Amino acid sequence: MTEETKRRKNPKLALILSAIFPGLGQIYNNQVLKGIALIALNTVVNFLLIKPLEGLISSLDSKPDNSTLFIVAAYTVIGLILWVYAIIDAKRTAERINRRDPKIIQNG
């Protein structure tokens, strides 16, 4: 395997990795700090979503509190935005790496 082949990244694989868990595609692209940051943010958002979601599920037989609904919706939207960002960023970064785009900063 040549050095050039080792440097190339598969954009589809980067996309799939980030779709599985935000940040994995960035780590695959050798953007380790960005990947760790995305993993940490995703973990925090998911952790913050647990309690309100439990409250919402436990109140299914009665009318749920509007503030709980808002919190669950807000964290869900934040999580989805983070997930979509990670997927798009991983794919585009892999494509830029393959084009040797100077905008890409490798921190691996």
- Residues 72-93 pLDDT 10s: 999 999 999 999 999 999 999 9
Residue 81 lies in a domain: yes
Residue 108 pLDDT class (50, 70, 90 cuts): very low
Residue 103 pLDDT class (50, 70, 90 cuts): low
What CA–CA distances, in Å, run from 43 to 22, 34, 36, 48, 61? 10, 14, 10, 9, 29
Provide the domain limits for residue 85.
3-99
Residue 107 lies in a domain: no
Q: Which residue has the higher pLDDT, 73 or 5?
A: 73
Residue 13 pLDDT class (50, 70, 90 cuts): very high
Residue 104 lies in a domain: no
Residue 54 lies in a domain: yes
Residue 105 lies in a domain: no
pLDDT, residue 6, reads 60
